Structure 1
Amino acid sequence: MDQIWLYTLMLSSIIPLFLFFLPNLFRKQNKKAPPGPKPLPIIGHLHLIKQPLHRFLQQLSSQYGDIYSLRFGSRPVVVISSPSIVEECFTKHDIILANRPRLLVGKHLNYDSTTLGAVSYGPLWRDLRRITTLEFFSNIRLNSLSHIRLEEVKLLAKDLFNKGRNEFVEVEMRPKFSELSFNVIMRMVTGKRYFGPEVEGLEEAMVFRGIARDVFELSGASNPVDSFPFLRWFGVWKVEKKMLDVRKKMDDFLDGLIEECRRNGSEGGFDAENRTPMIYKLLNLQESDPVGYSNQIIKGIIMIMLTAGTDTTSVTLEWALSLLLNHPHTLEKARLEIDTLIGKDRLVDETDLHSLPCIQNIINETLRLFPAVPLLAAHEPSEDCTIAGYYVPKGTMVLINAWAIHRDPNMWEDSLSFKPERFEDKNGDEYRLTLVPFGLGRRSCPGVPLANKVLGLTLATLIQCFEWENVGQEKVDLAEGFGLSMPKAVPLKAMCKARRSIIHTLASI
């Protein structure tokens, strides 16, 4: 009896695997696939994977070239780390490669893959792109909400000033940058602060923080079911249950938030001066188009803003300040530029950023060395195509290794060194294909203008207002940690003190 049960279990495991790999058995022999290491049966190349993944993939590219193939379980993967091939992908094949792979995180945490980041290319994606571009990332909308970004940066400066008014104090910067990023996005979207000392609804804020933490953890975690879909039939992985639990909490929270904002809107919450948080604009549009602006669409927009616009910003700020602490001459150069052009009688403002090229060069160089998303969001061809002369079948996961491109010595002189001056006297077209932290093509990140404003304003304010030093004699450790947005392995701690020449300005915040 035990043998019969064992044979039944083995057959139930082998048959699904056979069905998954059957198409590969009949692939046309005259199709030239990208090179790559020899896979093992069933698991493919998963046994080779090492962390951090972007470094491991770069090592493979040195062996197999700028385009090569892997297999993660039953999922075929093509990895690209060449600007010329990236250009081919997002010009010749831009529409074909505009889909996203169907992943479990998209199903459960991105509302059945209906958010801007997870949805397949088509009418819904075009509607979502239009909504976010017009209602959130247009110059008019960003300018109308500039007061939120300025207030949050001032609150950060005030907090640091209170700690280090007269002497250097040690500050852990990661939570500071994280709270700033979350509050900027959530105030622009909902009008509410959820972090820091001036939070009104503490209980609601605590619930939100827990949900946000769970979403980030599950979004960045590897999921065996994505590589071996048949495992869902056996129920051996608990990750899906965790996602369902978080989805329920997220739904309840966002439903309550939408209803609260709907009540506030009916009581005069819509601002004629166009300074209204985004959710009120969406609810207003929902009245005339209930289907196009359904609650699920609104919740999906909030979630994609949360996941795409917060962690990436805080991580970049942490890397930027770490690099400046290790290169004090660059920090002093940026401070001199600010003192010369802005002075010390007022704080820097967003309107000043265009006249502070040193700050933008620092941001560009930080994004080059430490892109917040080292592997761009995966693409998936909607039909068979040929890339760089190689056959890439429909359904393949296409990964762009931005980290490898940014450090390619053939593209960048002294590619491993921090040299913001490399961007001086250059326009964006000169490094359009070699600096791709926000992606390329129609699926590129629409939030670049907002990211540049938050990064520029925060970095310029910290440089203008404070003296910065390393903790101890050692340089800041620049080792990379694991995660969706490549955090520092060791959170940044720095010594901070208010500059005497600007104390009177800080004290007036």
Structure 2
Amino acid sequence: MEDILLYSSLSSLLLLFIAFKIFLQTRTQHKRLPPSPPSLPIIGHLHLLKKPLHRTFHHLSQKYGHVFSLRFGSKLVVTISSPSAVEECFTKNDIVLANRPRFSVGRHLGYNYTTLVSAPYGDHWRNLRRISALEIFSTNRLNMFLGIRRDEIKHLLRRLSNNSIQGFAKVELKSMFSELTFNIIMRMVGGKRYYWEDVKDVEEARQFREIMNEIVKLAGASNPGEFVAVLRWIDHGGLEKKLKGLAKRTDVFLQSLIDEVRNKEEEGNTMIDHLLSMQKSQSEYYTNQIIKGLMMVNATLH
């Protein structure tokens, strides 16, 4: 009983400390922030978020204007619904607003915020953008893989044809287009396809599909711990543990693709081949971690 009372008291003191800290931050920044509705201690305005979200934001904008601020727990959020203000954010103030929130997904799956989509604006991010623009997404580089895109589209049309060979049939296209895109990207990246027929390594394909399914599931999961520190410290929902395990499996998988290409002495014409060839002359810009980060971005942002 004494232990329970002790833990309850400590928890209450901790919550009061966090609430007081947030209150002080709000008071300090209040004069510089856009208008904001009344908030609650610790959770801020999270209680106002009701689906559909766009209607909630529209209702708030009618009361507080086209630019207003909210607090999602400890995170400050500014909502903008004015086209002219949005344009200014992407032009005049694009560098100021370039960074993304530092969520757990970026820490674990983004190699501690070092990938193109999670890295803060700076020299490292500019280097990643340069590599992506010149070595991956350039017109010349993409044109080299035109044959792959044509071949995968033929595979898709063949599957659709087989489904309707006995007459009209309903087809779920969303998953087919997703698998088509994965096949195109991974053939461009590593020379392998992981969906449909002609899969050379069934076990490797199974691992890839499981990893991608988990990334989509966990990356899009709602994590209250990102906004309320107490929930993050106790790993509410176990998301942090799941992300750590997934990140380890993903890193092992990507590293195995790099090692396989390296052992073949870069005989192919994939993106990994090209990046490894660049690694020989510019090792500081084309480390294994950077290459894996680029592979991750290509695979998950399809």
Separation in 1, partners of 2:125, 2:143: 25
2:55 equivalent to 1:24:
no
Structure of greater relative contact order (alpha carbons < 8 Å, 6+ residues apart):
1
Per-residue deviation at 1:49? 1.2
Provide the secondary structure at the position in 1 that maps to 2:69: strand
Mapping for residues 228-243 of structure 1, pairs under 5 Å: 228-243=228-243
Q: Write out aligned runs for 1:129-168 (5 A).
A: 129-165=129-165, 167-168=167-168
Out of 289, 292, 301, the position equivalent to 1:299 is 292
Deviations 1:177-196 (A, max 9, x none): 11111111111111110111
Distance (whole Å) between structure 1 residues aligned to residue 211 and residue 55 of structure 2: 30
Distance in 2 between residues matched to 1:281 and 1:181, nearest whole Å:
21
The CA distance in 2 between the partners of 1:63 and 1:147, in whole Å, is 54
Task: Return closer, same or farther for 1:43/1:253 CA change in 2, 3 Å cut-off.
Answer: same
TM-superposed deviation, 1:166: 6.0
Instruction: Give the direction of change, closer, same or farther, for the CA distance of 1:63–1:153 in structure 2 (3 Å limit).
Output: farther
- How far off is 1:20 after superposition? 4.2
Contact 2:22-2:42 at 8 Å conserved across structures = no
* Counterpart contact for 2:148–2:188, Cα < 8 Å: yes
1:281 aligns with 2:279: no
Q: 1:207 to 1:52 in 2, by over 3 A?
A: farther
Q: Tell me the equivalent position of 1:193.
A: 193
Is residue 286–residue 293 contact of structure 1 (8 Å, CA) maintained in 2?
Answer: yes
1:7 is aligned, of 6, 9, 12, to: 9
**Quick one: distance in 2 between partners of 1:140 and 1:183?**
20
1:253 and 2:246 equivalent? Answer: no
Cα distance per residue 1:347-405 (max 9 Å; x no partner): xxxxxxxxxxxxxxxxxxxxxxxxxxxxxxxxxxxxxxxxxxxxxxxxxxxxxxxxxxx
Q: Is the 8 A contact 2:225 2:236 kept in 1?
A: no
Contact 2:214–2:246 under 8 Å retained in 1 = yes
Unaligned runs of 5+ in 1: 271-275, 310-509
C-alpha displacement at 1:235, in angstroms?
Answer: 4.1
Distance in structure 1 (CA, Å) of the matches to 2:218 and 2:94: 29
AA aligned opposite 1:304:
V
- In the superposition, the TM-score normalised over structure 1's length comes to 0.56
Residues 45 and 284 (structure 1 numbering): CA distance in 2 closer, same or farther, change over 3 Å?
same
CA distance in 2, matches of 1:23, 1:71: 11
1:28: Cα distance to partner?
6.2
Question: Cα 1:54–1:259, aligned 2, differ >3 Å: closer, same or farther?
Answer: farther
Q: Aligned Cα RMSD in Å?
A: 1.8
Looking at structure 2, the residues matched to 188 and 54 of structure 1 have their Cα atoms a distance apart, in angstroms, of: 37
CA distance in structure 1 between the aligned counterparts of 2:181 and 2:10, rounded to whole angstroms: 53
* Residue identity matched to 2:295: I
Q: Distance in 1 between matches of 2:61 and 2:299?
A: 33
CA shift, 1:283, in A, is 0.9
CA deviations over 1:89-132 (Å, ceiling 9, x no partner): 12211111111111111111111111111110001110110111
Task: Please report how far the alpha carbon of residue 158 of structure 1 lies from its aligned counterpart in structure 2 after TM superposition.
Answer: 1.3
Deviation at 1:35, TM superposition (A): 2.5
In the alignment, the residues of structure 2 paired with residue 28 and residue 41 of structure 1 have an alpha-carbon distance, to the nearest angstrom, of 15
Residue aligned with 1:238, SS: helix
Q: How far apart, CA to CA, are the structure 1 residues paired with 2:22 and 2:261? A: 47
Q: The residue matched to 1:135 in structure 2 has which SS?
A: helix
Contact 1:104 1:225 survives alignment (8 Å): no
CA gap of 1:216–1:55, structure 2 versus 1, over 3 A, is farther
Q: Percent identity?
A: 48
**Which residue of structure 2 lines up, in the alignment, with residue 206 of structure 1?**
206
The structure whose residues are more often helix, as a share, is 2
Structure 1 residue 201, shift from structure 2 partner: 0.7
Residue 106 of structure 1 contacts residue 118 of structure 1 at CA under 8 Å; is this kept in 2?
Answer: yes
Q: 2:267 is matched with which residue?
A: 269
8 Å CA contact 1:21–1:74 kept in 2: the answer is: no
Output the amino acid matched with 1:146.
L
CA distance in 2, matches of 1:182, 1:58: 36
On the 8 A contact 2:18/2:42 being kept in 1, the answer is: no
Residues 1:9 and 1:140: Cα distance change in structure 2 (over 3 Å) = same
Instruction: Compute the TM-score of the two structures, normalised by the length of structure 2.
Output: 0.93
- 1:485 paired residue number: none
Partners of 1:286 and 1:306 lie apart in 2 by 21
Q: 1:135 to 1:73 in 2, by over 3 A?
A: same
Give 1:294's aligned amino acid: T
Q: Are the aligned partners of 2:89 and 2:97 in contact in 1 as well (CA < 8 Å)?
A: yes
Unaligned runs of 5+ in 2: none
Cα 1:37–1:253 change in 2 (3 A) is same
Equivalent runs, 1:332-481 vs 2, <5 Å: none
Does the C-alpha gap of structure 1 residues 52 and 132 become closer, same or farther in structure 2, counting only changes over 3 Å? farther
Q: Which residue of 2 aligns with 1:463?
A: none
Q: 1:21 to 1:255 in 2, by over 3 A?
A: farther
Q: 1:120 matched to which residue of 2?
A: 120
